[in-house]
Amino acid sequence: MEQFEEDLVEALKDVVKAGSWQCVGDAAKFKSPCTKFYADDGEHIVLVRTEEGRFWAMDSSCPHEGGPLDQGDIEDLGDGKLALICPWHYFDFSLETGSSSTGLQNQVYDVRVVDGKVYINTQSTLSCYPVPVTKTVKMDVLSPVEIKSASSENTLCFWATKILCTPDPKEKVALTKDVQRWWHTGKITEIGECAPPNQPSRMDSLTVVEPGKIKRGKGGTQASRVALLHSLANIEQWAIDVSWDIIARFSSVQLSTGDSMPQEFFSDFVKVAGDEAKHYDLLEERIKELGSSFGTLPVHNGLWQSATETSHNLLARLAIVHMVHEARGLDVHPQTLSRFAAQGDTNSVKILKVIYTDEITHVAAGLRWFTYICSKEGRDCLTTFHDLVKLHFKGYLKPPFNTEGRMTAGMTEEWYVPLVKPSS
C-alpha cells in the first residue's frame, strides 16, 4: 500500500507538470489585491486576490500600451462582475474572461487553490523577482550626436526645444501652432541643432504621479467621461512633446549611407505636433464644458517612458511610439467611441472622430519613415520592426486589432500578427 501511495504521488506530480501548473506559494501570504510574478518569456502575470479570498490571474501588462495592471484597482462593473482597471487609461479587464468594454482582450490563466497553496496554469517559469534580461543595442546606429552649440532662433530645433521647455499646456499649444505656421510659410527654413531636455517641463500645479496611483470612478457617469477625457488630454500633451522631441533629438542623425534625414521628415512631424496640439485644445475645451478643467485630476508620464526608452535610436522611436502605441490607439477607438455614444455624449464623439482620423496619418508617418530608413540602409523592414518591438515593448501585442484603421495607415497584418503571443 505504501508503495502504491508513493507511485500515486509521483503520478500526480507528472500530471501537474504536464499541465504546466506552477505553485506560487501559500494562499495565506497573498494579502495584497495584486501580486506581480515575473515570467522568463517577458509576459509577466498578475495574481489577483478579491475581498472574498478568490484568486484570478492575467497578463500584468495592459494590451493597450503596456500599462501596469498589477498597480490597478479591482472594480465591480455590476452584476457581481469584477474587473481589473488599468491605471494609465482606465480600461477594464474582466477577471474571469480578460475581455474589456474597450474591445481589448487580455490573456487570463486558470488558478487553483489546493491544500492552501496557489497554483497558476502557465507554461512560463514564474518568479517573485525580475528575471535578468540582457539587451543588445547598437548605440551608434541612428543615434543622436553630441550638440556642440545651440542653433539660432531661425531654426526648427530652437523652437522645438523651447516648446519642450514650456510647462503651461496652453502656451505649449499656442507656440506649436505658431511654429507650424512659420515652418509652412517659410519664416523658418533651417533645421538646426539643439540638445532637447531629458524630460519636458510641466506646471507645478499639475499633479504628476506614478501610473498606479491614479484612481478611477465608476463607469457610465459624467465623472468617468471627464476622467477619460482628462486622461486623453494628458496623452495629447505628452504627444506634442514627443513630436518635437523626435525633431530636436534626431535632427543631426546620419544614416549608414552618410545621408541626413530629408526635410520632408521634419515637415511630417511638425504636422503631427500640430495635430496633437489641436487635439489637446479640443479635449481641454470639452472638459471645461463638462464642468471641470485640465489639471484637476492627477496625470502620469507613461508615454514619455517609451520616449526615454527609445531616445538612443530613431528606428526604435518610430517603431514603438508611432507604430505600436499610436496603432494601438486605432484599435481601441471604435469601443471608446461607442462608450461615449451610448451615454449620448455627441460632442465628445465628434472630437474622438477628429482624433482618430488624424492618428491614422500619424501611424502612416511612422511607417513611412521607418521603411524609408530600412530601405536606405538595406535592412529588412519586418525583421527590424519585430526585433525592436520585442526589445523595447512590454510583452506581446494582443488582439483584437482594428485591421481597417491599420490598413488605412498602410500597416498590413504581417507587421503585427507575428508579435502576438503564440497559442499554447
pLDDT tier for residue 143 given thresholds of 50, 70 and 90: low
The residue extents of the domains of the chain are 17-127, 156-419
Contacts of residue 408, Cβ cutoff 8 Å, sequence gap at least 6: 360, 364
Classify residue 129 as exposed, middle or buried by CB count within 10 Å of its CB (0-12, 13-18, 19+). exposed
Q: Which pLDDT value is given to residue 217?
A: 42
Residue 185 predicted with pLDDT over 70: yes
Dist. CA 96–CA 56, nearest whole Å: 7
Question: Domain 17-127, CATH 2.102.10.10 — does that match?
Answer: yes
* CA-closest candidate to residue 34, choices 61, 3, 14, 10: 61
Residue 50, helix vs strand vs coil: coil
Q: Which pLDDT value is given to residue 68?
A: 84
Dist. CA 421–CA 59, nearest whole Å: 11
* Average model confidence (pLDDT) across the chain: 87
* CA-closest candidate to residue 414, choices 367, 366, 373: 367
The reply to whether the predicted model has a pTM over 0.85 is no
Classify residue 30 as exposed, middle or buried by CB count within 10 Å of its CB (0-12, 13-18, 19+). middle
Q: Which pLDDT value is given to residue 218?
A: 41
Number of C-beta neighbours around residue 66 at 10 A: 22
Are the beta carbons of 397 and 416 closer than 8 angstroms?
A: yes
- pLDDT: is 84 or 132 the higher one? 84
Dist. CA 143–CA 135, nearest whole Å: 16
Cβ density class 253-273: b for 16+ within 10 Å, e for less: beeeeeeebeeebbbbbbbbb
Q: Which pLDDT value is given to residue 205?
A: 86
Dist. CA 239–CA 275, nearest whole Å: 10
**Residue 309 in grid coordinates:** 526608452
Dist. CA 17–CA 280, nearest whole Å: 52
Dist. CA 318–CA 315, nearest whole Å: 5
| Alpha helix ranges (H) inside 210-254 | 222-249
Q: What is the pLDDT of residues 349-358, one digit of tens each?
A: 999 999 999 9
Residue 226, helix vs strand vs coil: helix
Q: How far is CA 222 from the centre of its chain?
A: 25
Dist. CA 268–CA 263, nearest whole Å: 9
Segments of 315-382 assigned E as strands = none
pLDDT tier for residue 216 given thresholds of 50, 70 and 90: very low
Region of poorest pLDDT, from 106-110, 270-274, 396-400? 396-400
Dist. CA 350–CA 346, nearest whole Å: 6
How many residues belong to the chain? 424
- pLDDT: is 3 or 317 the higher one? 317
Q: Which pLDDT value is given to residue 2?
A: 62
Dist. CA 301–CA 202, nearest whole Å: 11
pLDDT tier for residue 306 given thresholds of 50, 70 and 90: confident
Residue 137 predicted with pLDDT over 70: no
